[in-house]
A and B are shown apart, each in its own frame.
Chain A
Amino acid sequence: GAVVSQHPSWVICKSGTSVKIECRSLDFQATTMFWYRQFPKQSLMLMATSNEGSKATYEQGVEKDKFLINHASLTLSTLTVTSAHPEDSSFYICSAHLGNTQYFGPGTRLTVL
């Protein structure tokens, strides 16, 4: 149980385009989901907290107009990277909160050319 999936697992896009990443809790409902970013050889950095039915809460320094988060249902949160640039290339990971624990997705590798 407590499985979280992400789609796509990897994506390559051109600079200036937008990319949407989906995060789904497969066997449970999650009122709260979280989005992280991880650069090579670095730790995970929390980007935002996504609450179903309300606006996401962004961490300091994360541009909310660039990283659009929608938590439309109790099993789906999406992260859209708008007008992507090469510096946005990273590993994006989501997690879903269940009980006392966060369960993480497998991650999405974004490469912006």
Chain B
Amino acid sequence: DAKTTQPPSMDCAEGRAANLPCNHSTISGNEYVYWYRQIHSQGPQYIIHGLKNNETNEMASLIITEDRKSSTLILPHATLRDTAVYYCIVRVAGNQFYFGTGTSLTVIP
């Protein structure tokens, strides 16, 4: 079962930062948090992952709270091409991913 909960949908103005929250209150100490996104009828695309520290790459930043019970994915300057369903996933011991319902992000011109 998925160990994450996310808001079902969000809007963001083009050019502004998109902040997508995720709750994972039952996460274990050695379980990583991953973020993927899926554009309609395509396979999920990897964005970023982290364990305890905040992470940043060319696509996004990941902010994980100190107690690790929640995290936020930040897309610094959202474009129309960032419109997608964003999934926050906790990777379990066998490397399996159990997807939750995700957040449908719509970037508005």
- Residues of A at under 8 Å CB distance from B? 4, 6, 32, 34, 36, 43-46, 49, 91, 93, 95, 97, 100-107, 109
Contact = CB atoms under 8 A, between A and B. Distances in A.
Contacts of A6: 43
Given A100-B49, A102-B46, A91 B41 contact: yes
Contacts, number: 54
Contact of B42 (A43, A101, A106): A106
Nearest to B102: A43
Interface in B64-106: 87, 94-102
Interface of B: 2, 32, 34, 36, 38, 41-46, 49, 87, 94-102
B95 A32 contact: yes
19 contacts: A34-B97, A36-B99, A43-B2, A43-B87, A43-B99, A43-B102, A44-B87, A44-B99, A45-B99, A49-B94, A49-B96, A93-B43, A100-B32, A101-B34, A101-B49, A102-B97, A104-B43, A104-B45, A105-B43
Given A43-B100, A49-B94, A101 B46 contact: yes
A57 B42 CA distance: 25
Tell me the interface secondary structure of chain B in the complex: loop
B52 to A, nearest CB: 14
B95 A97 contact: yes
Contacts of A100: 32, 49
Contact of B96 (A34, A101, A103): A34
A32 B93 CA distance: 13
B67 to A, nearest CB: 22
